[in-house]
Amino acid sequence: MKSTVGVIGGGQLARMMIPPAVSLGLTIKVLEEAPGMSAELAATGVGDYRDLDTVLAFARTVDVVTFDHEHVPQHVLHALVDAGITVHPGPDALLYAQDKLLMRQKITELGLPSPDWAAISNADELGAFLESHGGRAVVKTARGGYDGKGVRVVDDKNGADDWFIALEEDGRGGSLIVEELVDFVRELAQQVARRPSGEIVAYPVVETVQKGGVCAEVTAPAPTAADTARAADGTASTVAEVARDIAVRVAEGVGVTGMLAVELFETRDGRVLVNELAMRPHNSGHWSIDGAVTSQFEQHLRAVLDLPLGSTRPREPWAVMINVLGGPVGQTLQDRYPAVAAAHPAAKLHGYGKESRPGRKVGHVTVTGTDLDAVLADARAAAAFFEG
């Protein structure tokens, strides 16, 4: 059996793949961008993921290559495949997690619901979209955005001029995306895992709360996911069923292998719209480490090795995950462990081995249980302790 997984990128997602790799008796190797990153424990190399020779040399030491992030350039990915290296997810799927414009086109082509959107290349085109959408809209860069960077609400046709100029200076040309400003009731995320041989499993749909464009809280499953929603074909179904159906159709439609997260908006009139895709473990699935039979990190390893997938069943009725964002500069998360652990014995504490900086994701806290209000309160209080 293939048993050595190579992860490109040394962030916390790679770090959190290490424990399940150890449990399963696999070998995990990480190519980190700089020494001392989050996944240092499993790092076997340091180098630039944009450099083909670096990535190829690393890839030749493993059975399958997968990712901590989606920034490895297409030409590098294709060169790996051409060299006979197994890459999951493959470049043709990963493209839709790398480029939001191609993603919008693909989602539309698959007949799945998006916010109203358009590709725009100048201020006049933005102005025309604003005029037909009540004067406000969301502009996004197609590539390179994360944690809300590259996403901006505008109400003026000149509100994205700096990005148009940057595109031009970049020399590659290309467009921005403009989307209707969705008046959502809440944001959801649906995760599925897909093996190369086709098996798919789905996690319960979760509710996510973003603060300043950054994921802050996740509740699994999403409360009231059993309520009625409108499916893409107009028929009524539950929110949970509609979300699962969308994610399965995306997974099959783009041929993703490994974990897929579909970020969704639930609208006031009961529609579920696709926001964006991630093809790797995702912040919305961190709850599964402590809350599900198979964590998203173990599932990702199983999927990229084409092993049978694990049960996605929650271990308890509710799980709440809160990100620790920042925390006191100059202190580590561990400095606070004694106090948090004493006050919140049921909270599971996860530190990413990163230095605290304002707003930076340095860890998370998960609490599971049967009473949602109690679980939420405990998780929030434990996370607040870290940030205070």
Ligand X SMILES: Nc1ncnc2c1ncn2[C@@H]1O[C@H](COP(=O)(O)OP(=O)(O)OP(=O)(O)O)[C@@H](O)[C@H]1O
Q: Where is the binding site, in residues?
A: 100, 140, 179-182, 187, 275-276
Does 119 participate in binding ligand X (rule CB under 6 A)? no
Shortest distance, position 334 Cβ to Mg ion, whole Å: 29
Select from 138, 142, 243, 260 the one that contacts ligand X (CB under 6 A): 138
Does 188 participate in binding ligand X (rule CB under 6 A)? no
Q: Which stretch binds ligand X (CB under 6 A): 143-151, 168-176, 229-237, 369-377?
A: 143-151
Nearer to ligand X by Cβ, of 6 and 10: the residue is: 10
Shortest distance, position 338 Cβ to ligand X, whole Å: 32
Nearer to ligand X by Cβ, of 145 and 326: the residue is: 145
Does 276 participate in binding ligand X (rule CB under 6 A)? yes
SS (H, E, C) the chain: CCCEEEEECCCHHHHHHHHHHHHCCCEEEEEECCCCCCCHHHEEEECCCCCHHHHHHHHCCCCEEEECCCCCCHHHHHHHHHCCCEECCCHHHHHHHHCHHHHHHHHHHCCCCCCCEEEECCHHHHHHHHHCCCCCEEEEECCCCECCECEEEECCCCCCHHHHHHHHHHCCCCCEEEEECCCEEEEEEEEEEECCCCCEEECCCEEEEEECCEEEEEEECCCCCCCEEECCCCCEEEHHHHHHHHHHHHHHHHCCCEEEEEEEEEECCCEEEEEEEECCCCHHHCHHHHHECCCHHHHHHHHHCCCCCCCCCECCCEEEEEEEECCCCCCCHHHHHHHHHHHCCCCEEEECCCCCCCCCEEEEEEEEECCHHHHHHHHHHHHHHHHC
Shortest distance, position 54 Cβ to ligand X, whole Å: 25
Enumerate residues 199-258 that contact ligand X by CB under 6 A: 210, 213
Shortest distance, position 275 Cβ to ligand X, whole Å: 5
Residues with Cβ < 8 Å from 349, sequence gap 6 or more?
333, 337, 340, 341, 363, 365, 382
Q: Which stretch binds ligand X (CB under 6 A): 121-129, 165-173, 176-184, 324-332?
A: 176-184
- Per-residue x/- mask for Mg ion, residues 264 to 293, rule CB under 5 A? ------------x-----------------
Select from 36, 111, 134, 148 the one that contacts ligand X (CB under 6 A): 148
Enumerate residues 238-267 that contact Mg ion by CB under 5 A: 263
Select from 86, 141, 190, 275 the one that contacts ligand X (CB under 6 A): 275
Nearer to Mg ion by Cβ, of 215 and 347: the residue is: 215
Q: Which stretch binds ligand X (CB under 6 A): 15-23, 146-154, 298-306, 348-356?
A: 146-154
Q: Which residues contribute to the annotated binding site for ATP?
A: 100, 140, 179-182, 187, 275-276
Q: Which residues bind ligand X (CB under 6 A)?
A: 115, 138, 140, 145-151, 179-182, 187, 210, 213, 263, 275-276
Contact positions toward Mg ion, by CB under 5 A?
Answer: 263, 276
